[in-house]
Structure 1
Amino acid sequence: MPRVTTEIEGHIAHVTLTRPDKRNAVDPEMAEAIVAAGHALMGADIRAVVLSGEGRAFCAGLDVMSFAALARGDPEALIVPRTHGTTNLFQEVAMVWRRLPVPVIAALHGAVYGAGFQLALGADIRIAAPEAELAIMEMKWGLIPDMGGMALLPRLTRSDVIRRLTYSAQPIPAAQAAAWGLVTEIAADPLAAACALAGGIAARSPSAIRAAKRLVAVAESGADEAEILMAESREQAALVGKPDQMEQIAANMAGRAPVFGDRNT
């Protein structure tokens, strides 16, 4: 049984964690599969991604027993080398989705712990079920979050919130996560809501959507005001009058759905 499946329909990639018997806990094989799924979509003709998990949980964290065996070797040799540019394999589980050029929406339910929480942080948008629980769980095992969490959390919430979650390892309900900026919205059926949102995004100009994701990344990067303003101007200049924008205008004027061509980069 594969750890992760990917299905593309209507320019939307549905990436599903498929280890429900373990609440989609991440073992080395699943980490490799999640990263491979993200990399495989880099050049795909897609306009959005929906991340979800089968069974009772989105992802309950690390499969501790599998990593305990690895820890008996040389942890530094496993963790410190940069195997994927600026990341190691485990950090790439979350960070690959930030680098994907299209919006990524995570549909969260049940346990969203540890590795699963950090995977969700890599998405652009997180939609959670009311009963979902989120946690930075690593301290429970005498560890720290090291799968991209510290690169992603400061963009979403306050320092005291990050410290509370990290130090305590206590799960918080979806409503509290939303209040702290860690969840975008709450929905009774988060997967249906994520798919509906992805469908709306996929109906927009694909080149404009990709430009918007690049621009948000610049705005979040710590660039100074002049760099951000110039990035706005360059991205806009590259869109005005191009086929996607002209089709969007024509569709709006005709009161019909736009029909875009092949992927624009």
Structure 2
Amino acid sequence: MDQRVTIEIIDGVADVRLVRADKMNALDNAMFDGLVEAGETLKLNKQVRCVVLSGEGRAFCAGLDASNFGRMAGGGGGGEPENATSRLGPRTHGISNRAQYAVWVWRELEVPVIAAVHGFAYGGGFQLMLGADMRYVTPDARLSILEIKWGLVPDMAGTQLMRHLVREDLVRELTYTGRIFSGAEAQQMGFATRVCDDPRAEALKVAREIAGKSPDAIRAAKRIYNAANYRSAADGLMDESIEQSSLIGSPNQVEAVKANLEQRAPRFAD
């Protein structure tokens, strides 16, 4: 996993850590690969009964690596082929594309996943925590659906996960504004399961408790909840990709990136 994600398994509990602390665990290609590989590895390990997902250093995950936005400012769509639809539209991992799967794989995992969140969870990092079954956060954690800052929409499964957690008007407000909110607010809204001073310690404690329950019953319960909540997810995930494809490299999206990188007010065209 190219030193981006580590896994330690003790007594049926998989302790999964994002280990790019110098970049606040930002999502670069290696981190995407590491998350996907970690999820796929755990899928094959029938001894795992619960997973705790957390980040080393000052943050859970600060979102997409800033270097990707620098490439977008040149109109190159992050250095990828110009046909953004062909890049994001194809379902390369089941019902999702690669970026979506870095989040969705934790939903597909047969066992419960607990995200332990501290510091920052912005953009893709926020969506990553939503992929867990439960989310434990510090009261002063700083969270945001930050994509609008860069002229984008959440496209790592976030639209499909948020709609089951929080009132639609709140999701829309946070998506349209990119407002930063605290872990305490996240619990009030429904994004966070618990607020605690040491989320990772609490998550490991609960994971050990879950690991002590019948693995067949736990897996069955997760299958039931997943089926009940996400029957129409394939269409929703495709909607994310289509909208994001049309935004990447477009004039106003490039302007949003340039304005942020140049630390000035954006000048959007109607």
TM range (shorter): 0.7 to 0.9
1:64 positional shift: 2.5
**Closer/same/farther in 2, CA of residues 99 and 35 from structure 1, 3 Å limit:** same
**Closer/same/farther in 2, CA of residues 92 and 222 from structure 1, 3 Å limit:** closer
Secondary structure of the structure 2 residue equivalent to 1:71: coil
Check whether the contact 1:11–1:47 (CA below 8 A) recurs between aligned residues: yes
TM-score, structure 2 as length reference: 0.80
The whole-number CA distance in structure 2 between the counterparts of 1:211 and 1:66 is 39
> After the TM superposition, which of the residue ranges 46-55 and 61-70 deviates more from structure 2?
61-70
1:176-226, Cα deviation, whole Å (9 max, x unpaired): 110110000101100000000000000111111111111112332469xxx
Letter in 1 for 2:58: R
Structure-2 residue corresponding to 1:22: 23
The gaps in structure 1 that reach 5 residues or longer are 224-265
Secondary structure of the structure 2 residue equivalent to 1:35: helix
Percentage identity across aligned positions? 48
1:110-145, Cα deviation, whole Å (9 max, x unpaired): 001111110100000000011111110100111110
Check whether the contact 2:68–2:78 (CA below 8 A) recurs between aligned residues: no
The gaps in structure 2 that reach 5 residues or longer are 72-76, 233-270
TM-score, structure 1 as length reference: 0.81
Secondary structure of the structure 1 residue equivalent to 2:96: coil
1:93 positional shift: 1.1
1:80 positional shift: 1.8
Structure-2 residue corresponding to 1:143: 152
| Higher relative contact order (Cα pairs below 8 Å, separated by 6+ residues) | 2
Structure-2 residue corresponding to 1:60: 62
Residue 39 of structure 2 is aligned to residue 32 of structure 1: no
Correspondence for 1:82 among 85, 88, 91? 91
Residue 73 of structure 2 is aligned to residue 71 of structure 1: no
1:60-84, Cα deviation, whole Å (9 max, x unpaired): 0000313543524323332222110
Check whether the contact 1:104–1:124 (CA below 8 A) recurs between aligned residues: yes
**RMSD over equivalenced CA pairs, Å:** 1.4
The aligned runs of 1:1-265 (5 Å cut-off) are 2-44=3-45, 45-66=47-68, 68-69=70-71, 71-73=78-80, 74=82, 75-221=84-230
The whole-number CA distance in structure 2 between the counterparts of 1:163 and 1:207 is 37
The whole-number CA distance in structure 2 between the counterparts of 1:206 and 1:67 is 42
- Count of equivalent residues: 223
Secondary structure of the structure 2 residue equivalent to 1:177: helix
Deviating beyond 4 angstroms after TM superposition, the runs of 4 or more aligned structure 1 residues are: none
Check whether the contact 2:51–2:111 (CA below 8 A) recurs between aligned residues: yes
Check whether the contact 1:28–1:67 (CA below 8 A) recurs between aligned residues: no
Check whether the contact 1:27–1:67 (CA below 8 A) recurs between aligned residues: no
Structure-2 residue corresponding to 1:240: none
Check whether the contact 2:26–2:62 (CA below 8 A) recurs between aligned residues: yes
The whole-number CA distance in structure 2 between the counterparts of 1:221 and 1:59 is 25
The whole-number CA distance in structure 2 between the counterparts of 1:15 and 1:195 is 11
Check whether the contact 1:107–1:191 (CA below 8 A) recurs between aligned residues: yes
